[in-house]
A and B are shown apart, each in its own frame.
Chain A
Amino acid sequence: MTENGRLAEFEARIRRGEKIEPGDWMPEDYRRQLIRMISQHAHSEIMGMLPEGTWIARAPNLRRKMVLLAKVQDEAGHGQYLYHAAETLGATREEMIEALLSGKAKYSQVFNYPSLSWADMGVIGWFVDGAAILNQTMLARCSYGPYSRAMVRISAEESFHMKQGKEQVILLSQGTAAQVAMVQDAVNRWWWPSMMMFGPHDQESPNSPVLIKWAIKTRTNDELRQDFVNQIAPEVMELGLTLPDPDLHIEKATGNWIHGPIDWDEFWRVVRGDGPCNAERMAARRKAHDDGLWVRQALEAYARREAGVAAA
């Protein structure tokens, strides 16, 4: 079959709603875009452990500590599901880890902000995981089978992340004056970084058209962001809290909550490595990688011994 014929057949499969599986023919650009997206997503899960990890030892009680520990452990597991999904496309773990550690690969900008108080653990769960779930629910319908299946699993597990966070925000918002002030401060700091998680506006998102044509993504950045505002804004207000957006208002005709302008200069600054915690996060990641060297060496020694035993 000619290259064009194959492409036409591939696109017909996508239109029929079929899943593309690892051994199937796919355009090189489909493979490249998926590896880029899935590995970035995996890196985000791994880097996403850092802002919360720092609060595990300072959790206010045993219940909250177990919950936070479980959430951070899930994120490590989600990173694994995703690295495996990328490997089905021919990417190797070493290439991907190397790209992360060298700073070549990107991860979600939101993890380059500091977590300053315990209330951040509530707000991160509600806003950051809430935003991630919207994105992942969309990706669960992705045309690439292994990515879609990883997303189904991850979305199901992350609804616990979101709900444990929201529960804390609700309780803190009904607590003492100091607790209310603490949670309002956390909301103020995490709102815009969470809104930016969906990425640039549609007209400025160069990859979007091809990603949508091949059903890697099935909805646009702005559509998902609109769902996010509609979900969160009214409930934050019901709690007596405010969002740091003076332009936020409900549009009568559509029922949509319309937000004010997003500071894209800040977004690109953080993406390019100059956010409040980029250097700290990368240093923590590299240290964890170096500290884990003995584990990798022990595993390799075990593998060599097993191979030797098998050969003998």
Chain B
Amino acid sequence: MPLNIDLQQILLHWMNLAILTGGLYLLLYKPVKDFMTKREEHYRQLDEQAAEKLAQAERVQAEYQARLDGADEEIHQARARAQQAIQQSTEDQLAKAREQARQIVAHAQTEAEHSRERVLRESQRELRKLAAQATKKLAFHVDPFDQFLDLAEEGEEYEE
């Protein structure tokens, strides 16, 4: 044949190429490709795990944020309640103080009234006594001058 083309040698080359293709596929191509696929799968799993952990962390963060927001509200409410209680207590104390003051004033007024009445009664009694004595003396004709002197003496004693 032209160019020394030989069908038998071509077939031998085919056989050689078939052996090479099969051998290289089994010895090199497939094992390396399998390893690359395995590594890709490994890193894909790692990526998924990382994404899952990130999502979980975000969920926990959101949960704690919600709790934190709740705590703020709770603190706000507690503060409002405390202020209300203080206000109530102050008002109670004030009312009590006012009541006590009113009672003290009333008591003082009562005491003053009683004192005034007692003094008045004693003055009236003294006046009646004096009037009785004067009447008695007038009735028994006593010298008015002596009587006056006697009364004056008695008055000084009384003042002392």
Chains A and B bind each other: no
